[in-house]
Structure 1
Amino acid sequence: MRILFVCLLTMLFFASCKKKEDANAAKTFLNVKYGTDAKQAMDVYLPAGRSTTGTPVLILIHGGGWTEGSRNDLNVFVDTLKRRLPNYAIFNISYRLAANGQNLFPAQENDVKAAVEFIFSKRNEYAVSDRFAFIGASAGAHLALLQAYKYSTPVKAKAVVSFFGPTELVQMYNNPPNPLVPLLLASVTGATPSSNPVLYQQSSPYTFAIAGVAPTLLLHGSNDLIVAPSQSTLLHTKLTAANVPSQSVVYNGAGHGDWDAATYADAFAKVAVFLKQYHP
């Protein structure tokens, strides 16, 4: 009986250790819902050894002109970021798309805010910290910047990275790099800058770029014919004047996301350095 008792204690001990190890192992949760719409979902990548004090959160937001695309478009971003920043918890989110007069601005902005609130509410369950940073591409960069600058609750962003994102929508409408841009903006907002100036102002990260906002890394191609590189330059100038840490990188000859492997490698190397500095 004594031998049996010792064996049972040993089994319970190892089972308890295994549970603790499993609880802290790397985990992936796909298609986690943060709202009732099918697009209101995210993929969650949690690193091993995480904790509520030591694990920073990185939220990825896809592009597609606010009308198309999905978080799957950024799976390659997830892979490279996991390699470069293995201690980060990564949340790759989708949001409702504007189409056929439905889900117009600020639906996408509201969805990003809802996703942030959901992640924040789950931080103890996921064992992640309250140190949030954002990375977005194109329209997703616009949404990342807007969230980082405009909202300080439930959490204030520590850093934000924009891959060729719109920053000032009135300028983008009035000085487009191609004639389709104003049509796109009018279709996703349901208005023009003259018919609804408040919506354009409130939907522009530039409006909220004041002292104290998150340090910002802006990455753009010099030959971008969808989002003019001046959009990043304009924001960088305002951030610099407000003494906000800001870096602007323009890749000569690069277009709107159709970058070669070497350019993306350089960009992600800069992203890793930037986040380690401002969002360790």
Structure 2
Amino acid sequence: MNRKRFLFLLALPFVLLCCQKEAEAPDVNTPALSYTDMAYGNDARQVMDIFLPEERSVEHTKTIFIIHGGGWTEGNKSDMAEAVTYLKKELPQYAFVNINYRLASNNAVNVFPAQEEDIKAAVNFYLNRSAEYLVSEDIVMGGASAGAHLAMLHSYKNDPGRHVKAVVDFFGPTDLVALWNEGVIQQWALSAAIGSLYTDDPDIYVNSSPLNFITDQSPPTIALQGGADIIVIPAQTTLLIDRLNEKGVKNELVYYPLESHGWTGVNLLDSYSKIIAFIKENVE
């Protein structure tokens, strides 16, 4: 072996090690970026806002996905803008994605599982560009009401790569069969989104229930519930916590006895505080 080749081979491990360390470190020259209404599909509703922090890296920068509510038939990502702004300030090292999805209408258009498929498409679109965005493939899924349902459904059912490291459930439906049996209000909302009555198509209710896909490998979950909620009743969250405990999945219940379907003020700030602490404990 000639002397030059010997010296090259001797130096190669150190070169590779330096390159690896450089890749692992956040890029201090990387500015914050945002993309508004980034399309992840062909429908006008299939768009999302992406917020990338400065000094991010593929190894260290995780992403929090936020999904709006509205009974799967209304709502907009703008409804979650305030939450995104607050969480960005408190978790500046995270990227954020705020998702729109197709809305069900007329008991026939964009009914289930259109919303489930949209969340899966949005997450895949983003993760497939993780190298371009300089983010890791570790994510947190969170949402409110119908959005929380979709966050849980994706996390427990549609994440074979186990990219989801934590779930944030703001009063989301967990068992659609049990929810159907609660009364007329719930039946009206569910049939409008699903496009059929439970008695006509029970399988879609079963297959759209996050509770049915929880295993001992499911990600840690924090659930926030109001005790006076008459839409997504507290029993839905009780079922969730019981199943998570049964499977040995780490979880936390935050219960506000006097709150209904959503809250503001001191309790909302308390919710944010507990969510942030839960994420830091389970994802950092």
Structures share fold, TM-score greater than 0.5: yes
Q: Answer yes or no: is 1:85 the counterpart of 2:94.
A: no
For residues 102-121 of structure 1, what are the alpha-carbon distances to aligned partners after superposition, in whole Å with 9 as ceiling and x for unaligned?
00000000000000100011
Report if aligned partners of 2:27, 2:57 keep a CA contact under 8 Å in 1.
Answer: no
Paired AA for residue 120 in structure 2: K
Contact kept? 2:176, 2:208, Cα under 8 Å: yes
Matched, 1:69 2:75: yes
1:227 aligned partner, one-letter code: V
2:282 corresponding residue in structure 1: 278
Deviation of 1:154 after TM superposition, in Å, equals 4.9
User: How far, CA to CA, are the matches of 2:161 and 2:124 in structure 1?
Assistant: 6
5+ long unaligned stretches in structure 2: 1-25
Deviation at 1:190, TM superposition (A): 1.6
Deviation of 1:276 (Å):
0.7
Q: Look up the match of 2:171.
A: 164
SS in 1 for 2:224: strand
1:173 aligns with 2:177: no
SS at match of 1:117: helix
**Aligned AA for 1:144?**
A
2:118 counterpart of 1:111 = yes
Question: Do the aligned residues in 1 keep the contact of 2:29 with 2:55 (CA within 8 Å)?
Answer: no
Matched, 1:134 2:141: yes
Q: Distance between the aligned counterparts of 1:21 and 1:140, measured in 2?
A: 33
1-side partners of 2:264 and 2:159: how far apart? 36
Give yes or no for contact 1:217–1:271 (8 Å, CA) kept in 2: yes
Confirm or deny: 8 A CA contact 2:48 2:97 kept in the other structure: yes
Structure 1 residues 227-236 or 193-202, which shifts more? 193-202
Aligned residues: 258
TM-superposed deviation, 1:156: 3.0
Shift of 1:180: 1.9
Deviations 1:72-115 (A, max 9, x none): 00001101101111100000000000002200000000000000
Secondary structure of 1:158 counterpart: strand
Task: Judge conservation of contact 2:56–2:135 (CA < 8 Å) in 1.
Answer: yes
**Alpha-carbon distance, 1:277 to partner:** 1.1
Are the equivalent residues in 1 in contact too, given 2:27–2:56 (CA < 8 A)?
no
Matches of 1:183 and 1:196 in 2, distance apart? Answer: 15
- Distance, in Å, in 2 between the alignment partners of 1:22 and 1:99 is 46
Alpha-carbon RMSD across the aligned residues, in angstroms, is: 1.4
The normalised TM-score by structure 2 is 0.88
CA deviations over 1:132-191 (Å, ceiling 9, x no partner)? 111100000000000000022455311100101000000000014xx2220111121122
Aligned partner of residue 137 in structure 2, secondary structure: coil
Report if aligned partners of 2:62, 2:135 keep a CA contact under 8 Å in 1. yes
Paired with 1:252 and 1:154, the residues of 2 have a C-alpha distance of: 37
> Secondary structure of the residue that 1:95 maps to in structure 2?
coil
Name structure 1 gaps, 5 residues minimum. 1-19
Instruction: Say which SS state the counterpart of residue 92 (structure 1) adopts.
Output: strand
Distance 1:252 1:109 in 2: 30
Query: In 2, Cα distance between the equivalents of 1:218 and 1:191?
Result: 28
Q: Counterparts of 1:228-243 in structure 2 under 5 Å?
A: 228-243=233-248
Question: Aligned partners of 1:62, 1:21: CA distance in 2, in Å?
Answer: 32
Which of 254, 263, 267 is the aligned partner of 2:267? 263
Measure how far apart 1:229 and its partner are.
1.1
Which residue number in structure 1 is paired with residue 22 of structure 2? Answer: none
Per-residue Cα deviation, 1:6-54 (whole angstroms, up to 9, x for no partner): xxxxxxxxxxxxxx98961111111100000010000011111100000
Q: Where in structure 2 are the equivalents of 1:146-161 lying within 5 Å?
A: 146-161=153-168
Q: How does 1:169-248 map to 2 (within 5 A)?
A: 169-176=176-183, 179-248=184-253
Q: Percent identity?
A: 42
The 8 Å contact of residues 215 and 278 in structure 1, kept in 2 or not, is answered as yes
CA distance, structure 1, for counterparts of residue 249 and residue 162 of structure 2: 18
Of 32, 37, 45 in structure 2, the residue corresponding to residue 39 of structure 1 is: 45
Matches of 2:165 and 2:249, distance apart in 1? 12
Deviates more, 1:188-197 or 1:108-117: 188-197
- Measured in 2, the distance between the counterparts of 1:154 and 1:247 equals 24
Partner Cα separation in structure 1 for residue 189 and residue 276 of structure 2? 33
Q: Which amino acid aligns with 2:149?
A: H
